[in-house]
Structure 1
Amino acid sequence: MTATEESTRTYEVRTYGCQMNVHDSERLSGLLEDAGYVRAPEGDTPDVLVFNTCAVRENADNRLYGNLGHLRPIKAAREGMQIAVGGCMAQKDQGEIVRRAPWVDVVFGTHNIGSLPALLERARIAQESQVELEESLTVFPSTLPTKRESAYAAWVAISVGCNNTCTFCIVPALRGKEKDRRPGDVLAEIRALVDQGVMEVTLLGQNVNTYGVEFGDRLAFGKLLRACGDVDGLERVRFTSPHPAAFTDDVIAAMAETPNVMHQLHMPLQSGSDRVLKAMRRSYRAEKYLGIISRVRAAMPDAAISTDIIVGFPGETEEDFQATLDVVRQSRFANAFTFQYSIRPGTPAATMPDQVPKEVVRERYDRLIEVQEEIAWAENKTQTGRVVEVLIAEGEGRKDDATRRLSGRAPDNRLVHVAWADARPGDVVTAEVTYAAPHHLVADKVVGVRRTRSGDAWEARQGRPAAAKGVNLGMPTIGRPAPLPVVSGCEVS
């Protein structure tokens, strides 16, 4: 019996890692639903459980095998249940997964997510594990069915893979060399999304601003941003994550001159020490990085800039760490995703000498957090009194019956909690910022509410009439387009 014939067979996709994995999970969900599966109700044990894994963090394998061990008795007690493992960990470990966890039914890689339904069916018929991993991408994921979590915001992958060789990162070996989609294909997808009610897209790539390298156009990314400005109904365009070494002035100009490209930039720093950057094989230095920040702010004084920083890279000295703090203080980041360095097996950095003791890494990390939080709070305080347009989000912010606030993102991507209003996810609330905290703003003076096609699309998904009132929002859920990286660019950019 096929999955299509057994229409009540349920699934769940659990996602770990970066935005690319979240985007891939939307494809996996679309594939399964196209094959006749339905999403399992929250809290229910699904018939098919798919792990879309990450190999970036040191404990990624421990987390995976721990979850698989927990599921072994559950699977044994539930006739017909299947477990599939995909993503970067699957691509890295390959046959090791079924050796260590023989109750796993399917293992598939980053290059063949489209094979999942067929592999599940093959495993059911053969009653044995199926392992299928391609060494390179043959079908671009954008051609696969998609089950988007959001009615109003969407990921759009413009490239996959990475041509860099950063010593702390294993992702290029797992995702392959960069492959770029043609601009016409990207824009066609964006127009189709807008027709469905989407008003915000985030362009995705491991190094999004090197887009065009495969077809020989070094200015392709800036051109693509400008072309997005010609898409009627597309109100917000974001992108992540760019690489400082390839960040050019034509991109800054496109951001500044294209009205629907948001004045928000996530620019990974990783370290402020030139010596450490060299050891990381990051092909820029602190001076270049600060120059980019300066030019962005000259063109867009209201731009909010965020970053990624790794603390405790092998050989990092106190002097190196102070150099990072200096760049942080000069850059005035609105937000920073900070990581304590951890060994990634298979990366050059894993075998480097002078690994920094964990207690030293932790102490430096705490100091960095203290400095960054002080800066972020000061930067947020400058927003007090500003009137902002907040795109109301589902599943983000606070469920707060006492204050009855909605939550969403300002154009610069700051999280804003606004006073309760007759607004749906996808609608836009204009409000004055009345309070600033290190990680969010509060806007209790509502100026107006704009009901949008995106809000209509959200209501259509809920099966609600168009006159539905405001909704109370819960905490973030995996799968919805995230405002900033979970693990930015898999720490590649």
Structure 2
Amino acid sequence: MKVHVSTFGCSANQASAEVMMAAIRDQGHELVPEEHADVVVLNTCTVKYTTEQKILYKIRELGIKGIELVVSGCMPEVQLEDIIRSNPNAHVLGVNSISRIGEVLNSIASPDIRSQSTSRQALHVFSHEPEGFINVPRLRFNPNIHICQLSQGCNNTCSYCIVRSARGPLRSFHPDPIVKDIEQGINEGCREIWLTSQDNAQYGMDTGLRLPQLLERICAIPGDFKVRVGMMNPFSALPILEELLDAFENSKIYKLVHLPVQSASNDVLKRMNRFHSIEEANLVINSFRDRFDDLTLFTDIIVGFPGEKDVDFLKTIKWVRDYMPEKVNISRYTPRPHTKALEYRNIDSRIVAQRSNELHDVCEKVKVSVRNSMIGWQGRVFISKEAKLKGLMARTASYKPVVIPESSAVPGSSCDVEIFDATPGYFLGRVII
């Protein structure tokens, strides 16, 4: 059959899509653009209302067209009724069941199934435990980047977040298979390793060996490669902070910290059921900046959470100006099913939009300031991959993106560059001898 895979959401979802695409290919099916597909696999995300609505529209559209559909990812776990209501004939693959995509496709392809009317019974495949996430073939979106999922699920109970309901409690994968998985990615030519999960700093809370020790084992793997440590919550990073700082000293780890503060108001954080204060989040950030002068900071902020007053929002604005994160993922709060915050009274959507726009403007000014401060910078960069348009995409030790328009270097190597210009998304650099 001709199959198209469309994926939404986080890097963990992207990794799942890579695993499913390899399984589809290895079972003899053909991966094609959507317009040529007999079957479409929608690997879904439901963190945001806007994404959910986009996906539900797509589910309805494919049903109207009579195209076979497999819905995977987070939505089947928490919004199965919405999927069935949108398309009763959609097949469903639970978030832990990506290794069973072949089973679903083979059933669709069988003559007994395909000859039946559209009223036939759709397949619903769910697994309680995660299977097939590591040490399996991949068909990567980028052949130079290996995404390794460290765990499934989360022990947080943030009042706004649906992910805990979708992916369940924390289940950390054993370190030996993780190291083997990364070794395999390196042997297949990958030179950038992305570590992903719902909260990387939670890794090992349920098993004993924590993230710093895992990082030591990963960095001990022979070869020229770099490690990007994904999102860590402040309250998960704080208990292992000193060990984490020591682990980040390794030159193979990008000096990048993705630490979602969500709000700079402790009153709002309490209503969000975040297990940290803004002072504790600042302690984590300051500790990393004290140790690493060129640290890059990413964060996430939710605007317009129920109960957020003007004074709360102004604290967040001030925090962004003071801490100057290079990247801020701004989300306008929307209620999600199966969450505590669904019970809260929402703020007027016009106020939420106004605050979002104001925060966006402040973040853009911060980005311009950071970009301008990098003009004339000279230093060592790691060649990550081919650039989208021309040349090579490189990364500084702190993961800042530098496009080198002219270079004979290859991904996985390093060179010295001077940054001579900047665009909204990346810096421009020239090789220096």
One-letter amino acid of the counterpart of residue 48, structure 1: V
Q: Distance in 1 between matches of 2:65 and 2:431?
A: 49
Task: Return the offset for 1:442.
Answer: 1.8
Q: Distance in 1 between matches of 2:272 and 2:125?
A: 29
Q: Distance in 1 between matches of 2:223 and 2:61?
A: 46
RMSD: 2.1
Question: Which residue in the other structure is 1:97 paired with?
Answer: 83
Task: Return the offset for 1:428.
Answer: 4.6
Task: Return the offset for 1:116.
Answer: 1.6
Preserved CA contact (<8 Å) 2:381 2:394? no
Secondary structure (helix, strand or coil) at the match of 1:381 reads: helix
One-letter amino acid of the counterpart of residue 283, structure 2: G
One-letter amino acid of the counterpart of residue 231, structure 2: S
Alignment map for 1:140-179 (pairs within 5 Å) = 140-179=132-171
Question: Which residue in the other structure is 1:16 paired with?
Answer: 8
Counting aligned pairs with the same residue, the percent is: 26
Which string of whole-angstrom CA distances, capped at 9 and with x for unpartnered residues, describes residues 368-426 of structure 1? 112112122212222222224152434x55x3xxxx55444333222223232234555
Secondary structure (helix, strand or coil) at the match of 1:130 reads: coil
1:413 partnered with 2:399? yes
Question: Which residue in the other structure is 1:481 paired with?
Answer: none
Alignment map for 1:428-439 (pairs within 5 Å) = 428=414, 430-439=416-425
Q: Distance in 1 between matches of 2:146 and 2:289?
A: 27
Q: For structure 1, which segment, 254-263 or 285-294, has the greater mean C-alpha deviation from structure 2 after superposition? A: 254-263
Preserved CA contact (<8 Å) 1:286 1:327? no
Alignment map for 1:61-80 (pairs within 5 Å) = 61-75=52-66
Secondary structure (helix, strand or coil) at the match of 1:155 reads: strand
One-letter amino acid of the counterpart of residue 281, structure 1: N
Which string of whole-angstrom CA distances, capped at 9 and with x for unpartnered residues, describes residues 331-362 of structure 1? 22111111111121221112202x11111111
Which string of whole-angstrom CA distances, capped at 9 and with x for unpartnered residues, describes residues 214-267 of structure 1? 2134xx210111222211114201111111002132344234421101111111
Q: Distance in 2 between matches of 1:190 and 1:439?
A: 28
Task: Return the offset for 1:172.
Answer: 0.7
One-letter amino acid of the counterpart of residue 376, structure 1: K
1:253 partnered with 2:238? no
Question: Which residue in the other structure is 1:232 paired with?
Answer: 222
One-letter amino acid of the counterpart of residue 65, structure 1: L
Question: Which residue in the other structure is 1:377 paired with?
Answer: 368
Question: Which residue in the other structure is 1:120 paired with?
Answer: 105
Alignment map for 1:454-465 (pairs within 5 Å) = none
Which string of whole-angstrom CA distances, capped at 9 and with x for unpartnered residues, describes residues 162-221 of structure 1? 01110110111110111111111111111111111111101111111111112134xx21
Q: Distance in 1 between matches of 2:236 and 2:62?
A: 44
Q: Distance in 2 between matches of 1:87 and 1:43?
A: 18
Q: Distance in 2 between matches of 1:83 and 1:162?
A: 29
Preserved CA contact (<8 Å) 1:204 1:239? yes
**1:108 pairs with 81, 93, 99, which one?**
93
1:132 partnered with 2:117? no
Q: Distance in 1 between matches of 2:313 and 2:135?
A: 44
**2:356 pairs with 351, 357, 365, which one?**
365
Answer 1 or 2: higher relative contact order, Cα 8 Å, separation at least 6: 1
**1:244 pairs with 234, 246, 249, which one?**
234
When normalised by structure 2's length, the TM-score is 0.91
Unpaired runs of at least 5, structure 2: none
Q: For structure 1, which segment, 337-346 or 300-309, has the greater mean C-alpha deviation from structure 2 after superposition? A: 337-346
Question: Which residue in the other structure is 1:318 paired with?
Answer: 310
Task: Return the offset for 1:293.
Answer: 1.0
**2:70 pairs with 78, 84, 104, which one?**
84
Secondary structure (helix, strand or coil) at the match of 1:148 reads: coil
Task: Return the offset for 1:447.
Answer: 2.2
Question: Which residue in the other structure is 2:37 paired with?
Answer: 46
Sort the Cα spacing of 1:32 and 1:405 in 2 relative to 1 into closer, same or farther, 3 A.
Answer: closer
One-letter amino acid of the counterpart of residue 405, structure 2: A
Secondary structure (helix, strand or coil) at the match of 1:136 reads: coil
One-letter amino acid of the counterpart of residue 262, structure 2: Q
Q: Distance in 1 between matches of 2:246 and 2:68?
A: 47
1:337 partnered with 2:332? no
When normalised by structure 1's length, the TM-score is 0.81
Secondary structure (helix, strand or coil) at the match of 1:434 reads: strand
Q: For structure 1, which segment, 339-348 or 263-272, has the greater mean C-alpha deviation from structure 2 after superposition? A: 339-348
One-letter amino acid of the counterpart of residue 11, structure 2: Q
1:347 partnered with 2:333? no
**2:254 pairs with 262, 275, 281, which one?**
262
One-letter amino acid of the counterpart of residue 266, structure 1: H
